[in-house]
Amino acid sequence: MRENSTMQNKIISALIFFLLFTAVNCSAEVISKVAAVVNDAVITTRQLEAAFAQALKLNPNSASLTAAEKEKMRLKVLDQLIEEELFKDRLKQLRIKVSEEDVEAAVEDVQRQNNLTREQLAQALQQQGMDFATYQDQLRKQILRFKLIGAEVQSKTEVTSAEVREYYRDHIDEYREPPYMQLSRFTLPIPGSADEEEIEELRNQAIEARKRLVEGEAVNTLLVSYALSGAEGGDMGRFRVGELSESFDRVVRNLESGKISEIVEVPNGFFIFKMTDRSSGGEKPFDEVRPGIEQILQEEKREQAFKDWNRELREEAYIDIRI
């Protein structure tokens, strides 16, 4: 049972991403009425209730939903079904199709992302009340949706250099970088039981290690050379002036990039620092942040273009909601 539960959890995210609300069989006693008319298509109450039941099944919080929340969700499902019919009409007009190779590639992508075999995927789908053929059909619909939106919206999401420059100027505070120091450290720890003679030996080793660092030897190389003495260190990352303890900050705050600090002797060891990089801060170069800005603007345009296109699609269609 635990294995089945784990598999179900693995696939649920993929199901939610790829799954459009799926119609399931209803009992013969249910009387189907017209829920909505979309151009020449009819959405029945049976289709709506089936899709709503599937949506509830996929919602982990369905048991705690109030009646008002369920009704809101039901209307959202109806809106999804209306949108699906509108998309179907537009797909026919544009003659957009999906090949079996496209569907198979999508299935393989789901398997790869969730680390599942085909058999495990089929089993997980079965636990969700869906056979593999139905799942493939839903993937096909989703791919068609992506292709349609790409064809209708993508051309409206191009970003010009002027727009990127304007965004950079308007959000310049977001691209200011504070001053920083990037440090590497070489440390020879002083054991708590060390006597004066042992400490003096470590001090001499630290002097020799600093000399080798000044001559250009890498910190990591020295860590290997002094491994028997318990050498520690490596890249420390970035710091601002004043973030380190006073004894350390004092010897590194004025170091130039590539330079080696004096030896800092504290009760627990001998410390040597290398300034691997430092910056006085300021604005990040435009060329450095340009790709990120382009992505932000493209996403904003994509969202707005989709909203505009979807609204126009509905305005041009005949939609009659009857519930």
Global pTM value: 0.53
Looking at the structure, do residues 191 and 123 belong to the same domain, yes or no? no
Same domain, 92 and 26: yes
Structure tokens at 44: 């029945």
Residue 138 placed within a domain: yes
Q: Is residue 202 one of the residues assigned to a domain?
A: yes
Same structural domain, 225 and 260? yes
Report the distance separating Cα 247 and Cα 233, nearest Å. Answer: 17
What CATH number did the domain enclosing 83 receive? Answer: 1.10.4030.10
**Residue 252 sits in which domain range?**
179-280
In the prediction, which pLDDT does 288 show? 94
Percent of the chain with pLDDT over 90: 74
Q: Is 227 within the bounds of a domain? A: yes
Computed over its alpha carbons, how large is the radius of gyration of the chain?
Answer: 32
Task: Answer yes or no: is 6 within a domain.
Answer: yes
pLDDT category of residue 268 using cuts at 50, 70 and 90? very high
Collect all residues with Cβ–Cβ distance below 8 Å to 59 and sequence separation of at least 6: 65, 73
99/235 same-domain check: no
Closest CA to 21 of 69, 110, 109, 82: 82
At 74-128, the pLDDT tens digits run 999 999 999 999 999 999 999 999 999 999 999 999 999 999 999 999 999 888 8
- Considering the domain architecture, whether residues 125 and 268 belong to the same structural domain is answered as no
How far apart are the C-alpha atoms of 231 and 184, rounded to whole Å? 13
pLDDT tens digit string along 49-69? 999 998 998 888 888 999 999
pLDDT of residue 31: 63
Give the CATH number, domain containing residue 189.
Answer: 3.10.50.40
Same domain as 199, residue 122: no
Judged against a pLDDT cut of 70, whether residue 309 lies above it is answered with yes
Q: Are 19 and 58 within 8 A, CB to CB?
A: yes
75 and 119 belong to one structural domain: yes
Q: In this structure, is residue 162 part of a structural domain?
A: no
Neighbour tally for 46: CB within 10 Å: 18
Are both 114 and 195 inside the same structural domain? no
Residues 20 and 99 occupy one common structural domain: yes
Does the residue 126 lie in any domain? yes
Does some domain include residue 287? Answer: no
| Per-residue pLDDT at 4 exceeds 80 | no
Residue 234: other Cβ atoms inside 10 A? 11
Residue 288 lies in a domain: no
Residues 65 and 184 in one domain: no
Least Cα distance to 144 among 96, 79, 90 occurs for 96
Number of domains in the chain: 2
- Asked if residue 9 and residue 124 are part of one domain, the reply reads yes
Question: What is the predicted pLDDT for the residue at 282?
Answer: 86
| Tens digit of each residue's pLDDT (9 = 90 or more) over 68-89 | 999 999 999 999 999 999 999 9
Place of tokens 């509905």: 314
pLDDT tens by residue, 246-255: 999 999 999 9
* Confidence at 129, pLDDT banded by 50, 70, 90: confident
pLDDT band, residue 10 (cuts 50/70/90)? very low
Are residue 265 and residue 124 in the same domain, yes or no? Answer: no
Residue 130 confidence class, pLDDT cut points 50, 70, 90 = confident
